[in-house]
Chain A
Amino acid sequence: MTLPLVLEVLIQGMLTGLIYGLMALGLSVIFGVVRVVNFAHGEFAVVGMYGAFILFTTLKIDPFIAMAPLAALFFVVGYGLQRSLVVHFIRRPDHEQFILLVGLAIVMVNGLLMIFGPDARHVDLPYSYDSWMLGPVLVDKVRAYAALAALGVAGALFAFFRYTQTGLAIRACADNLTGAAVVGLDIDKLYALTFGIGLACVGAAGALLVSIADVTPMLAPAFTLLAFTIVIIGGLGSMGGALLGGLVIGVAEALASIIIAPSMKTMVSFGLLVVILALRPQGLMGKRAA
C-alpha cells in the first residue's frame, strides 16, 4: 500500500462521505424537530436515485441538474406525508412511529423491486471517468462535483435555519415546543415544512449518489442503516454532526475497503457506532440529553 493510494482512498472517502452526510442531514433535521425517526430514509434516497436515473435515460437530464426538481418534488412529498400520515403519530409511543415508517419502507423497497427488478442500473455521464491528477494522487471529477453540490445544499440549509424567519421558527419548535406554541407558531405547518426539507435533502442526495454509484432497490435498507449510523455518530439532531458523521463514515469505510475487504466495510461503521454509543452516546457534536 503506497502513500498516494492511501491519500487517494482518503479523498475518495471524504467526498463520498459528504454525499452520505447530506442524506443523513435530512434524517437529522426531521428527528431534531419533529422527533420522529424516519425509518424509510434510505428508501427515499433510492427513490431519488431512480428518479435521477429516469430523468437521465429519458430526457437526458444530468443528475446535477435533476437534483433541483427532485428536491422540490421530495419536499412536496414530505410535506404531504407529514400532514396526512405522520401527524397522527406525533404523540403516539415511539414503537408505533417506527412500525409505521418500517411499513412504509417495506412498501417502497418492494414497490421499487416490482417496477425496476433487482438489477443494478447506472447513469453513464459523459465525464464519468474523468479525473484530476494532483501530483501522484488521482481524484474523480464526478465525485468531487457531487461532494461540492452536497456541501452547497447543506450550506443553503444552514443559512435557511440561521437567517430566515421560517428557519428560526422551526428551530424554536425544536428548542421549546410549548414556548413555540405559546407565541403562536403554527406547529403543524412547521413540522410539515421540516419533513419536506428533510426529504428534499435526501432527494438531492439520491440524485448525487446515482452519479457515483449503481442503483438497486436493495440499497435502500443499507442506506437507512447508513444514515442512522452517521447521524448517531455525528449527534442526532445536530446538523453539523450529520456532515461530520458522513465524513467519518466515508473515510472509515474507504480505508476498511483497502485494508480489510470491501465487503467488510459495513462492519467497521457498526464498530464505530458501538464505540460511539458506549463512549459518547450524544454523538460527536450532539448536546448531552438531560
Chain B
Amino acid sequence: MRREHFLLGLLAAVLLALPLALDRYQTSVLVLVFLAAYMGQAWNVMMGFAGLLSLGHALYLGLGAYVSAALFVHFGLSPLLGLFVAVLICVGVAMAIGALSFQFRIEGVYFALLTIAFAEVARIGFDHLKWTGGAGGFFLSVAGSQGQWWNLRGGPLFFYYVSLAMAAAAFALCVALRRSKLGYQWLAVREDAEAARAVGIDVTRARMSAVVVSAAMSALGGVAHVFYYNNVFSAQIFDMSRSIDIMLAPIIGGIGTLFGPILGAFILIPLGEALIHATQALGINAPGAKAVFFGLALMIIIFLAPSGIWPSLRKRLGIGEGKP
C-alpha cells in the first residue's frame, strides 16, 4: 500500500469516528470545514485545473440553495429530487455565462469581472423576488420535520456525515477528473491556451466543461447550505465576500492541488472560529477582525507561497500527488 493511501485511510477513519469525541459546537465547526472543503474543490476545478478565475462562485451556491429550498417549501419536493433541478439550473446558467465569455473571447480580468457581475445581478434579482421571500430572506420551517433524513432534515451530527460524504466525493471526483483525458486537457489549456489549441484540443469545450462541472458541484453545496442553516438571505449568499470565502481554502491550501482545498479548510475555519472567540473576549468587532485576518492571510500566502501550503507539506510527508 502506498503511503498516501494509508494516510488518507487513516484520515477517513478518524473523521468517521470523530463525532464520538466532539460536542455539538465542535461538530458544527467541522460541518463548516467540510462544506468549505467541498466548495473549495468546486472552485478549484475552474481556477486550479482550467485556469478560469471565478470571483462570483456565490452565484451557483445561492442558486442551488434558492432553487432547492423553493421547491421544498412551495411544492414539498424532497431536496434529494430538488437537487437535480438545482444542478440543471446552475448548469444552464453556467453554460450561458460560458457561452457569452468564450464566444466573445472574454478572458482574464474581464472574465473574473463578468462572474462578479452575474452574482450581483442574481443578488439584486432575488432581493426583489417575492416568491422566495425577497430581501427579508427565505426560511425553511424546522417544526414537525425532525429526523426526515430524506428531506435533509437533521442536526449537526446528521450534517456532519452529509458534508463529510460530500467533501470525500468531491475529492474522489477531482482525483478522477485530474487523471482523465479531460483533466489533462484542462491543464494544457490553463498553461497555454494557444499551444493547447495547436495540438488539437478544443479549448472552448474544455473550458466549458470545467465551468459546468464546477457549477454543478457548487449547486449541491448550495442545497446542503440551505438545508443546514434553514434560511437563505440574498444579500449574504450572493455577496462578493461569499465568493471570496469560497476561494480562501483552495488558495491557502494550494490552487490546482487535489488536497489543498481540504487542508485549507481545516486550517482556516477553526482558526476563524478561534479568532472570533478571542476577539469577542477582548470586546473587538469580531466579524471585522476575522475578515481582516483572512485578508492578511490571503496577501501573505500569495506573496510568500503563491502555490499554497499543500505542495511543501506534501514533500515533507513524502507524498506524490501527480504532477501539479
Q: Using CB atoms and an 8 Å cutoff, list the residues of chain A in contact with chain B.
A: 37, 85, 88, 92-96, 98-100, 102-111, 113-114, 117, 221, 225, 228-229, 232, 261, 263-264, 266-267, 270, 273-274, 277-278, 281
- Contacts A96-B306, A277-B114: A102 and B121 contacting too (C-beta < 8 A)? no
User: CA of A267 to CA of B120 in the docked complex: distance in angstroms?
Assistant: 8
Binds A, one of B77-85, B137-145, B294-302: B294-302
17 A–B pairs (Cβ distance < 8 Å), ordered by A: A92-B306, A94-B108, A95-B53, A98-B109, A99-B247, A99-B251, A99-B302, A100-B299, A107-B296, A107-B299, A109-B291, A114-B285, A261-B128, A263-B127, A264-B124, A270-B121, A273-B113
Is B117 among interface residues, defined by CB-CB distance under 8 A? yes
Check A98 against B295 for contact (C-beta < 8 Å): no
* Shortest beta-carbon distance from A242 to chain B in Å: 15
Residues of A within 8 A of B15 (CB): none
B85-102 CB mask vs A (1 if < 8 Å, else 0) is 000000000000000100
Q: Of B106, B109, B288, which contacts A114 at CB under 8 A?
A: B288
* Shortest beta-carbon distance from A283 to chain B in Å: 10
Residues of A within 8 A of B149 (CB): none
Residues of A within 8 A of B128 (CB): 261, 263-264
Highest count of chain B CB atoms <10 Å: which of A92, A104, A270: A270
Highest count of chain A CB atoms <10 Å: which of B110, B117, B120, B127: B117
Residues of A within 8 A of B127 (CB): 263
CB-based nearest B residue for A40: B295
5 A-B pairs with least C-beta separation: A106-B295, A103-B298, A107-B295, A103-B299, A110-B291
Interface of B is mostly: helix
* Shortest beta-carbon distance from B117 to chain A in Å: 4
User: CA of A77 to CA of B128 in the docked complex: distance in angstroms?
Assistant: 40
User: CA of A250 to CA of B90 in the docked complex: distance in angstroms?
Assistant: 32
Check B298 against A99 for contact (C-beta < 8 Å): yes
User: CA of A165 to CA of B271 in the docked complex: distance in angstroms?
Assistant: 51
* Shortest beta-carbon distance from A61 to chain B in Å: 28
Q: Using CB atoms and an 8 Å cutoff, list the residues of chain B in contact with chain A.
A: 47, 53, 55, 100, 103-106, 108-110, 112-114, 116-118, 120-121, 124-125, 127-128, 240-241, 244, 247, 251, 255, 284-285, 287-289, 291-292, 294-299, 302-303, 306
Residues of A within 8 A of B117 (CB): 225, 229, 270, 273-274
Check A94 against B109 for contact (C-beta < 8 Å): yes
Highest count of chain B CB atoms <10 Å: which of A92, A98, A263: A98
User: CA of A270 to CA of B123 in the docked complex: distance in angstroms?
Assistant: 12
Residues of B within 8 A of A98 (CB): 53, 55, 109, 112
Residues of A within 8 A of B124 (CB): 263-264, 266-267
User: CA of A90 to CA of B255 in the docked complex: distance in angstroms?
Assistant: 20
Residues of A within 8 A of B291 (CB): 106, 109-110, 113
* Shortest beta-carbon distance from A254 to chain B in Å: 17
Check B120 against A232 for contact (C-beta < 8 Å): no
Check A104 against B299 for contact (C-beta < 8 Å): yes
Residues of A within 8 A of B121 (CB): 267, 270
Check A281 against B106 for contact (C-beta < 8 Å): yes
Residues of B within 8 A of A270 (CB): 117-118, 120-121
User: CA of A232 to CA of B117 in the docked complex: distance in angstroms?
Assistant: 12
Q: Of A85, A88, A95, A103, which contacts B295 at CB under 8 A?
A: A103
User: CA of A176 to CA of B53 in the docked complex: distance in angstroms?
Assistant: 28
Highest count of chain B CB atoms <10 Å: which of A88, A102, A225: A102
Residues of B within 8 A of A111 (CB): 288, 292
CB-based nearest A residue for B135: A263
Q: Of A93, A106, A110, A274, which contacts B114 at CB under 8 A?
A: A274
Given contacts A94-B53, A102-B244, A225-B113, 17 further A-B contacts (CB under 8 A): A95-B255, A98-B53, A100-B298, A100-B299, A102-B55, A102-B298, A107-B296, A108-B295, A110-B291, A110-B292, A111-B292, A114-B292, A229-B117, A232-B113, A264-B124, A274-B114, A281-B105
CB-based nearest A residue for B104: A278
* Shortest beta-carbon distance from A144 to chain B in Å: 30
Check B113 against A281 for contact (C-beta < 8 Å): no
Residues of B within 8 A of A114 (CB): 284-285, 288-289, 292
Residues of B within 8 A of A261 (CB): 128
User: CA of A229 to CA of B118 in the docked complex: distance in angstroms?
Assistant: 13
Residues of A within 8 A of B114 (CB): 273-274, 277
